[in-house]
């Protein structure tokens, strides 16, 4: 069995205008001081991490890796959540997502999609140069406006949406196959890939692509009232990244899983700092250890109540406490004894060999 690696921290929610949150070296020093062993790096901010340069330059990647190593840190994964979102955008969301890409594509959805596709391929190249084995992203969404449809469900509409989603992602998945890196989709409401059923549908349409994998985040499953522990039983072979993020759902007489357009603090379903919500992390870490999960446990801090810096401070020891140092031998090996086939048949009362 394998021991999970960690703790890692996703930097995206902490990047800001002021030190230590405004450069990668100062973020690295801050993360290391809190006890983290790795960072998951977003790639949409060139002043933090220049993805285009990383895809083309081994020297730049070596510089980044060396700087992080000087703080005792590794890279768990690169992230293209925002760029992945732009691979597939329904027209209803075009104005909202226009700012996720370069300004020259603000009124050019096709150009923005092509840019996003090229960026994902750069992420595959950069991941290889950095010696990484997994990458984190979003799938984007064409069918999401119809997730709870009225008029009633249109089967052909959904068939077309998922076929197009797979068509757009296949060249990107092929680039990750060439790079030897798993492409991990965070299953997330707002994305067409938001649960096991939608991931399975997409996976089949990609020809069960070997690089189509999952970023497992139980918070999104709890808020959808899914069995997030049994999900690991079903999908452990495809889980290659893991966000440690907590959530809680408190039934309300006024709103439900959709949240009633309320602010996060007022919703029945809320994201919380690890340990403050309802997620069974003991169960999750046990199952991931059982199934030899090969990757990192990465804090993604999102909480409607607690401050970001407090969440980050608490996150590293929380993850460290939950990582199971797996056993090298069975607990009852002391009672085992050698035997051969003849001795086994004798134990069974079967006498001499036939």
pLDDT above 80 for 332: no
Q: Given this model, what pLDDT does residue 218 score?
A: 98
Model confidence band, residue 340 (pLDDT cutoffs 50, 70, 90): confident
Query: Quick one: which H or E segment has residue 38?
Result: strand 38-42
User: Given its phi and psi angles, is residue 332 left (phi above 0), alpha (psi -120 to 50 degrees) or beta?
Assistant: alpha
CATH of domain 5-347: 3.20.20.150
Lowest mean pLDDT among 23-27, 273-277, 343-347: 343-347
Whether this model's pTM surpasses 0.75:
yes
- What ranges do the domains of the chain cover? 5-347
Mean pLDDT of 93-103: 94
pLDDT above 90 for 317: yes
Model confidence band, residue 130 (pLDDT cutoffs 50, 70, 90): very high
Alpha-carbon span 132 to 110, nearest angstrom: 30
Q: Are strands 38-42 and 212-216 parallel, antiparallel or unpaired?
A: unpaired
pLDDT in tens, 213-231: 999 999 999 999 999 999 9
Model confidence band, residue 347 (pLDDT cutoffs 50, 70, 90): confident
Model confidence band, residue 353 (pLDDT cutoffs 50, 70, 90): low
Ramachandran angles phi, psi of 272, nearest 5°:
-135, 160
Alpha-carbon span 40 to 217, nearest angstrom: 14
C-alpha distances out from residue 182 to 45, 123, 308, Å: 22, 11, 29
Mean pLDDT of 274-293: 98
pLDDT above 70 for 354: no
Mean pLDDT of 263-276: 97
Ramachandran angles phi, psi of 20, nearest 5°:
-95, 20
Alpha-carbon span 28 to 21, nearest angstrom: 9
Alpha-carbon span 195 to 203, nearest angstrom: 12
């Amino acid at each position: 069995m394998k021991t999970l690696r960690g703790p890692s921290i996703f930097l995206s929610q902490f990047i800001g205008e002021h030190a230590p949150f405004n450069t990668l070296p100062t973020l690295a020093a801050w993360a290391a001081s809190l006890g983290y062993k790795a960072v998951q790096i977003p790639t949409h901010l060139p002043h933090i991490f220049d993805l285009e340069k990383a895809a083309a330059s081994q020297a730049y990647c070596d510089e980044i890796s060396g700087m992080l190593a000087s703080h005792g840190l590794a890279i768990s994964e690169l992230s293209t959540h925002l760029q992945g979102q732009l691979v597939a955008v329904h027209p209803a969301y075009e104005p909202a997502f226009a700012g996720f890409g370069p300004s020259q594509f603000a009124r050019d959805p096709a150009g923005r999609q092509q840019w996003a596709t090229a960026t994902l391929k750069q992420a595959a190249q950069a991941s290889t140069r950095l010696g990484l084995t997994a990458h984190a992203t979003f799938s984007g969404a064409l069918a999401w406006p119809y997730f709870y449809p009225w008029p009633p469900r249109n089967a052909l509409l959904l068939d077309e949406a998922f076929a197009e989603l797979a068509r757009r992602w296949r060249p990107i998945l092929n680039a990750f196959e060439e790079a030897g890196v798993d492409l991990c989709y965070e299953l997330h409401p707002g994305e067409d890939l938001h649960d096991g059923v939608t991931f399975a549908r997409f996976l089949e349409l990609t020809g069960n692509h070997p690089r189509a994998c999952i970023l497992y985040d139980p918070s999104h499953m709890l808020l959808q009232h899914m069995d997030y522990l049994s999900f690991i039983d079903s999908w452990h072979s495809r889980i290659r990244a893991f966000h440690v993020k907590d959530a809680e759902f408190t039934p309300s007489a006024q709103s439900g899983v959709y949240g009633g357009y309320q602010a996060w603090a007022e919703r029945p379903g809320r994201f919380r700092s690890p340990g403050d919500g309802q997620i069974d992390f003991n169960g999750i870490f046990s199952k991931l250890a059982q199934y030899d999960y090969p990757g990192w446990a990465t804090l993604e801090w999102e909480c409607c109540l607690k401050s970001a810096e407090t969440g980050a401070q608490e996150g590293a020891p929380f993850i460290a406490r939950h990582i199971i140092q797996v056993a090298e031998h069975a607990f009852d090996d002391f009672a085992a004894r050698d035997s051969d086939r003849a001795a086994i048949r004798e134990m069974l009362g079967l006498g001499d060999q036939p």
